[in-house]
């Protein structure tokens, strides 16, 4: 609902500052700051929010029996939505009371009641999913979540996907940018910066950023990127259907390297990220120190999974229990951080993502688990002018600013 987005801008519940990003408590640099608590002071706006959420909840969760508010900002909106729908209301504290009966849920919650929880906004979804877990522990059948606004960060979709729950919001970051442009809150030249922020950077974004720069200098050259499995990539290199592969090495599956040339982009190392404060005081840890920790990791047979699993095999240790799998390093990091589990990432990615006052504890492994990110191509390709020119300009791109600095910059907007 774009009208809700316009209302949030009008009352300054949402502020946009693409040129001087805000710093969230987590340390994330953001061009947007959202304080939906302000909406409770505007009767017409809060009424529209209540009616909008009630309509969406009834449409998407028609079996709802109880409305729950997530403390504290979600409670008033949940109360108004429950009134609109004529349903019972509960609310979920951020943690159980430290006195009396130690309750975390207030109100009457019948066993197995189909419940929809309401919060004011969704960033990564971590806080509302904790409330979901608390309600489930008290016997609720939580069937969904509603909110006024979503930042549309990839982490929120990843976190909800792991729970099997769906969510609905009245408006979101994309609609907000449309509204802000229409109402002249931002200049058109600021729009691209604001659009760029929502997309979670990963390893591919350095190459995307280079492709943008390269196109501006060579608009007559078409650069096409494809995401392939390792088997598909080697097959297409062999069949001369692609010019250059970008991959992690070494690759033990390739027995004959004679037809190929590699050009190293970055030498990297795996780093452990967890929530054990003892690790925070160590530079390096042994595999046996983390084997009992639940992990979120890359899918089986994914290159980095194979590397770490091989190290556990050599150490004659069982691999840690995996609770979830993601192909994107950024999604791995967000899930590990919010779900309070451990993960392993390339150090380049950890450097870009893991900062701020609530960063995860980290340590390298002993012995080192090293690898490299490289261009791979058939011998002779480097003599083709269009390919040699691209490789030379990529070298210059990294001379101006190295790979890790660029990945970090894309993530933090500094």
* CA-to-CA dists, residue 257 to 251, 261, 264, 379, angstroms: 10, 8, 15, 10
What tens digit of pLDDT does each residue of 157-189 get? Answer: 777 877 889 999 999 998 999 999 988 888 877
Q: How far is Cα 144 from Cα 160, in angstroms, rounded to an integer? A: 10
Domain tally, the chain: 2
Confidence at 29, pLDDT banded by 50, 70, 90 = low
- Are 356 and 334 in contact by the 8 Å Cβ rule? The answer is no
The domain boundary residue, chosen from 163, 198, 233: 198
Q: Do 404 and 327 fall into the same domain?
A: yes
Residue 372: which domain range? 201-414
Model confidence at 205: pLDDT above 80: no
Model confidence at 414: pLDDT above 50: no
Q: Do 106 and 239 fall into the same domain?
A: no
Q: How far is Cα 361 from Cα 282, in angstroms, rounded to an integer? A: 9
Higher pLDDT, 28 or 121: 121
Q: How far is Cα 235 from Cα 89, in angstroms, rounded to an integer? A: 58
Rounded average pLDDT over 259-274 = 93
Q: Do 183 and 210 fall into the same domain?
A: no
Confidence at 413, pLDDT banded by 50, 70, 90 = very low
Model confidence at 58: pLDDT above 50: yes
Rounded average pLDDT over 273-282 = 83
For the chain, give the percent of residues with pLDDT over 90.
50
Model confidence at 412: pLDDT above 60: no
Rounded average pLDDT over 18-39 = 77
Q: How far is Cα 263 from Cα 375, in angstroms, rounded to an integer? A: 5
What tens digit of pLDDT does each residue of 316-352 get? Answer: 999 899 888 887 788 888 888 888 899 999 998 888 8
Q: Do 207 and 74 fall into the same domain?
A: no
Q: Do 413 and 265 fall into the same domain?
A: yes
The vertex-157 CA angle with 151 and 160, nearest 5°, equals: 120
Q: Do 207 and 294 fall into the same domain?
A: yes
Q: Do 265 and 332 fall into the same domain?
A: yes
Task: Determine the pLDDT at residue 206.
Answer: 87
- Secondary element (H or E) of residue 58: helix 43-60
Render the burial of 304-340: b for 16+ CB within 10 Å, e for the rest.
bbbbbeebbeeeeeeebebebbbebbbbbbbbbbbbe
Q: How far is Cα 95 from Cα 103, in angstroms, rounded to an integer? A: 8
- Are 156 and 121 in contact by the 8 Å Cβ rule? The answer is no
Q: How far is Cα 176 from Cα 406, in angstroms, rounded to an integer? A: 28
The domain boundary residue, chosen from 177, 198, 219: 198
**Which CATH number goes with the domain that contains 309?**
3.40.190.290
The helix/strand count (H/E) of the chain reads as 14, 18
Q: How far is Cα 222 from Cα 225, in angstroms, rounded to an integer? A: 10
Confidence at 24, pLDDT banded by 50, 70, 90 = low
Confidence at 203, pLDDT banded by 50, 70, 90 = low
The domain boundary residue, chosen from 198, 217, 240: 198
Identify the CA nearest to 381 among candidates 250, 218, 237, 266. Answer: 237
**Which CATH number goes with the domain that contains 168?**
3.40.50.2020
User: What is the separation of C-alpha 209 from the centre of its chain, rounded to a whole number of angstroms?
Assistant: 19
What tens digit of pLDDT does each residue of 348-401 get? Answer: 888 888 876 668 899 999 989 999 999 999 999 999 999 999 999 999 999 999
Q: How far is Cα 216 from Cα 218, in angstroms, rounded to an integer? A: 6
The label of the residue with tokens 């016997």 reads: 139
Q: Do 190 and 292 fall into the same domain?
A: no
Q: How far is Cα 343 from Cα 345, in angstroms, rounded to an integer? A: 7
Q: 222: which DSSP letter? A: -
Token pair in block for residue 326:
């993601």
* CA-to-CA dists, residue 259 to 5, 251, 341, 372, 389, angstroms: 56, 15, 43, 20, 21
Task: Determine the pLDDT at residue 25.
Answer: 55
Report if pTM > 0.85.
no
Model confidence at 214: pLDDT above 60: yes
H-assigned helices in 315-369 = 329-339, 347-353
Identify the CA nearest to 160 among candidates 198, 117, 129. Answer: 129
Q: Do 228 and 178 fall into the same domain?
A: no
Model confidence at 201: pLDDT above 60: no
Task: Determine the pLDDT at residue 157.
Answer: 79
Q: Do 189 and 206 fall into the same domain?
A: no
What tens digit of pLDDT does each residue of 95-134 get? Answer: 887 776 768 999 999 999 999 999 999 987 888 998 999 9
Model confidence at 211: pLDDT above 80: yes
List the beta bridge partners of residue 249: 372
Rounded average pLDDT over 80-84 = 97
Q: Do 135 and 205 fall into the same domain?
A: no
Q: Do 231 and 323 fall into the same domain?
A: yes
């Amino acid at each position: 609902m774009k009208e809700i987005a316009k209302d949030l801008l009008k009352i300054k519940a949402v502020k946009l500052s693409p040129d001087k990003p805000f710093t969230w408590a987590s340390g994330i640099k953001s061009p947007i700051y959202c304080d939906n608590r302000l909406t409770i002071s505007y009767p017409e706006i809060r009424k529209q929010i209540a009616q909008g959420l009630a309509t969406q909840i009834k449409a998407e969760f028609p079996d709802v029996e109880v409305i729950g508010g997530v403390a504290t900002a979600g409670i008033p909106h949940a109360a108004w939505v429950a009134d609109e729908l004529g349903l019972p209301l509960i609310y979920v504290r951020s943690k159980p009371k430290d006195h009396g009966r130690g309750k975390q849920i207030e109100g009457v919650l019948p066993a197995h009641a189909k419940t929809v929880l309401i919060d004011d906004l969704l960033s990564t979804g971590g806080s509302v999913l904790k409330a979901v877990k608390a309600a489930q522990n008290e016997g609720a059948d939580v069937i969904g979540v509603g909110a006024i606004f979503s930042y549309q960060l990839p982490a929120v979709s990843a976190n909800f996907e792991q729970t099997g729950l769906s969510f609905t919001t009245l408006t979101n970051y994309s609609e907000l940018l449309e509204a802000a442009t229409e109402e002249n809150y931002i200049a058109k030249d600021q729009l691209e910066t604001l659009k760029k922020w929502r997309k979670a950077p990963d390893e591919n974004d350095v190459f995307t950023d280079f492709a943008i720069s390269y196109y501006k200098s060579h608009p007559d050259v078409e650069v096409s990127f494809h995401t392939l499995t390792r088997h598909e990539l080697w097959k297409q290199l062999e069949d001369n259907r692609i010019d250059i592969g970008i991959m992690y090495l070494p690759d033990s599956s390739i027995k004959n390297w004679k037809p190929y040339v590699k050009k190293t982009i970055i030498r990297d190392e795996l780093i452990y990220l967890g929530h054990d404060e003892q690790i925070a005081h160590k530079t390096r840890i042994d595999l046996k120190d983390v084997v009992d920790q639940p992990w979120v990791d890359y899918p089986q047979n994914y290159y980095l999974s194979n590397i770490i699993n091989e190290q556990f095999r050599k150490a004659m240790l069982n691999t840690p229990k995996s609770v979830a799998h993601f192909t994107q390093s950024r999604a791995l990091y967000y899930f590990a951080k919010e779900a309070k589990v451990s993960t392993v990432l390339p150090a380049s990615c950890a450097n870009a993502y893991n900062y701020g006052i609530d960063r995860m504890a980290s340590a390298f492994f002993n012995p080192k688990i090293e690898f490299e990110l490289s261009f791979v191509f058939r011998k002779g390709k480097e003599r083709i002018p269009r390919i040699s020119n691209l490789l030379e300009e990529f070298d210059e791109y990294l001379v101006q600013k190295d790979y890790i600095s660029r990945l970090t910059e894309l993530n933090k907007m500094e």
